């Protein structure tokens, strides 16, 4: 476990960096995304932070709060329902109009449901879309700006990292259905969790190879009281209150989660592949290679070793097969404005 003392010591060092880090928080108006955005604003000099979410009123309140934490911060809200890839493209267009570089892309956007497949107008399940396709589309669109961040002439501003907070563990234990990766015909919540997890894992490995100046993290947050169950109605909210009391000894405090995720988003040990040799304590990637540039983290900041299932999938060209499918979806939906 990476201790909170070590985490807080590292996070405090971010104040020694030059001003002007640019961070995008997709899902940044609630839960872990907001908690991490708070810590980022608190610990950096004159950052420019974009919050991408759906609730304008809540975003206005949050921006006021963050401005009180750091009056030198520049804060923008992009209202967007990112379950639709066309909206992801529009959000990225707005960012690219204003920015020459991005230092951090932090993605926590989620969709809590216990129902079956909920297909969007683009032909994708809504939950699966926000847990995988939207996140990877943000990455694809913004990777050139992340590369520009890595190449900053100021050596203190070369942070270039993308973090997807979901769960790398499920996809390390289960096999995706390669004949139906989008789960058009085989959707269950369990299958959706397995596919989103495994596809995040392998897509981030693909990006680490393609963009060696940027590091990529898939992080498991553990059980965190984020308030995500509120939208499910009175019965589920009441059930969660009871369950939450029983789980409290095993839960991670939301404030601590923000501190830990800021560490995951900025610590040198999770270095880009191109810079890994310069870092003495560089972590092992999801493929057990030190400094691979793609890291799968447990809630406590420790990297997860490669699993037997994941190693087998890797040998079966899972990365290539998943990426080929992802490009097919993006071509159909984003380039042809079609339905997958």
pLDDT in tens, 87-99: 999 999 999 999 9
Q: What distance in Å separates the CA atoms of residue 145 and residue 103, rounded to the nearest whole number?
A: 8
Q: What is the DSSP string of 28-57?
A: TTSHHHHHHHHHHHHHSSS-EEEEEES-HH
Run of H or E residues at 173: helix 170-173
Burial of 143 (0-12, 13-18, 19+ CB in 10 A): buried
Max alpha carbon distance in the chain (Å)?
54
Express as a percent the part of the chain with pLDDT over 90.
Answer: 91
- Please report which confidence band the pLDDT of residue 249 belongs to, taking 50, 70 and 90 as the band edges: low
In sequence order, what are the beta bridge partners of 74? 48
- Least confident among 122-126, 191-195, 247-251, 310-314: 247-251
Q: What is the mean pLDDT of residues 265-284?
A: 97
| Confidence band, pLDDT 50/70/90 cuts, at residue 251 | confident
Tokens of 112: 């809590």
Q: First vs last Cα of the chain: how many Å apart? A: 42
Give me the percent of the chain exceeding a pLDDT of 70. 92
Supply 49's token pair.
């932070």
Which residue segments constitute the domains of the chain, with CATH numbers given? Answer: 4-335 (3.40.50.720)
Query: Residue 224: pLDDT band by 50, 70, 90 thresholds?
Result: confident
Tell whether the torsion through CA atoms of 314, 320, 323 and 325 is positive or negative.
Answer: negative
CA distance 40 to 50: 12
What angle do the packed helices 4-13 and 254-266 form, to 10 degrees? 60
Is 35 in contact with 65 (CB distance < 8 Å)?
A: no
Question: Are 50 and 78 contacting, i.e. CB atoms less than 8 angstroms apart?
Answer: yes
DSSP string, 227-267: SGGGGG-HHHHHHHHHHHHHHGGGPBPHHHHHHHHHHHHH-
Instruction: Read off the tokens for 286.
Output: 């999801």
Report, in angstroms and rounded to the nearest whole number, the Rg of the chain calculated over CA atoms. Answer: 19
C-alpha dihedral sign at 252, 256, 259, 263: negative
pLDDT in tens, 128-177: 999 999 999 999 999 999 999 999 999 999 999 999 999 999 999 999 99
């Amino acid at each position: 476990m990476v201790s909170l003392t070590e985490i807080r010591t590292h996070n405090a060092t971010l104040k020694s960096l030059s001003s002007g880090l640019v961070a995008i928080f997709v899902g940044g108006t609630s839960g872990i995304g907001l908690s991490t955005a708070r810590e980022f604003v608190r610990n950096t000099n004159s950052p420019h932070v974009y919050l991408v979410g759906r609730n304008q009123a809540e975003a206005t309140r949050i921006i006021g709060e963050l401005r009180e934490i750091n009056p030198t911060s520049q804060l923008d809200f992009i209202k967007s329902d990112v379950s639709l890839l066309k909206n992801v493209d529009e959000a990225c267009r707005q960012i690219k109009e204003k920015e020459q570089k991005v230092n951090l892309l932090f993605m926590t956007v989620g969709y809590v449901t216990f129902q079956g497949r909920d297909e969007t107008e683009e032909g994708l399940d809504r939950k699966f879309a926000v847990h995988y396709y939207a996140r990877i589309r943000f990455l694809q669109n913004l990777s050139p700006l992340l590369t520009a961040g890595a190449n900053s002439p100021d050596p203190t501003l070369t942070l270039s990292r993308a973090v997807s907070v979901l769960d790398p563990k499920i996809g390390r234990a289960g096999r995706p259905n390669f004949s139906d990766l989008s789960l058009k015909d085989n959707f269950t919540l369990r299958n959706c969790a397995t596919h989103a997890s495994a596809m995040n894992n392998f897509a981030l490995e693909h990006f680490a190879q393609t963009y060696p100046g940027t590091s990529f993290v898939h992080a498991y947050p553990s059980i965190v009281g984020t308030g995500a169950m509120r939208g499910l109605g009175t019965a589920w909210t009441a059930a969660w209150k009871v369950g939450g009391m029983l789980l409290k000894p095993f839960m991670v405090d939301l404030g601590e989660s923000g501190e830990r995720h800021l560490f995951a988003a900025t610590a040198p040990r999770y270095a880009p592949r191109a810079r890994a040799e310069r870092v003495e304590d560089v972590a092992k990637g999801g493929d057990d290679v030190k400094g691979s540039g793609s890291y799968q983290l447990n809630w406590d900041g420790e990297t997860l070793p490669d699993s037997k299932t994941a190693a087998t999938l890797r040998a079966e060209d899972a990365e290539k097969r998943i990426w080929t499918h992802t490009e097919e979806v993006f071509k159909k939906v984003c380039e042809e404005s079609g339905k997958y």
